[in-house]
Amino acid sequence: MLSRTPREGAWREGRMMNGSSYEGLLAETITITGHHGDPIEAYYARPIGMVGVPGVVVLHHMPGWDEWSKEVTRKLAYHGYAALCPHLFSRFGPGRWDDLAAAARAAGGVSDAQVLGDAEGAITYLRRQPYSNGRVGMIGFCSGGRQTYLAACTLRGLDAAVDCWGGRVVMRPEELNERQPRAPIDLTANLSCPLLGIFGNEDANPDVEQVNRIEAELKKHGKTYEFYRYDGAGHGFFAVDRPSYRPEQAVDGWKRVFAFFGRYLMTGSESHV
């Protein structure tokens, strides 16, 4: 069911804060400063009554800033993280999240530069909170996985990154355009933090060959990474509201995510106020 290919010497079991989770949470929609100083919506969830809290930026999938993306944000908060999910399509509004996602798709998506600017704004917001421990990670799904890989190779200030089945990390020359001028794989030499990759072996984008190419590039540049590949799973297999959901593989995948973030983000995050 599962094959694991962590870089040698880079993997060990991580422990979550106090062994499991935290019950007191606050979740709300806020406004943060995004690319070019634009105000954008973001969904923010965090533990209440803690100091030394690590942050995680959540980059939502192409279907949009939907209910499942917000569930992911709350799930991270439950496990002791201040999690922030910027609405990458908010400039197409106001309106319902699904209408804005449709408008974004009709427009050909948003530019890599804009997403990186919004992600940088989210990182800055999290690090400035008085209860922050100074560490910030990022996790993205589908298009958000690709954008997370790109951010980890472009932005400074990330301590860990998780790419969940990000398509178009590997891109053909004819796929490059004004909005996406460079393939993320070509920036791998600049990867500045440990990377976790979660993939389904039945996925068509990225397919197994593309994942192999990404892993080869990470090895070539001596990067710290872990890849987990799941048989019987395709694209979006964490999403509980979709036919692609695969509970066995998703449960194991989330364990890998929290072990990874626990190792790189959680140190010193056990104080309460």
Residues with catalytic annotation? Answer: 142, 203, 235
CA distance 12 to 150: 25
Would you say 169 and 212 are in contact if contact means Cβ atoms under 8 Å apart? no
Look at the alpha carbons of 103, 106, 112, 114 in this order and tell me if their dihedral is positive or negative. Answer: negative
- Residue 113's nearest CA partner among 187, 178, 190, 193 is 178
Strands 195-200 and 25-33: unpaired
Look at the alpha carbons of 57, 113, 92, 162 in this order and tell me if their dihedral is positive or negative. Answer: negative
Q: Residue 73 CB: number of other CB atoms within 10 A?
A: 26
Q: 6: which DSSP letter?
A: P
Angle between helices 143-154 and 112-128 (to 10 degrees): 70
Would you say 271 and 50 are in contact if contact means Cβ atoms under 8 Å apart? yes
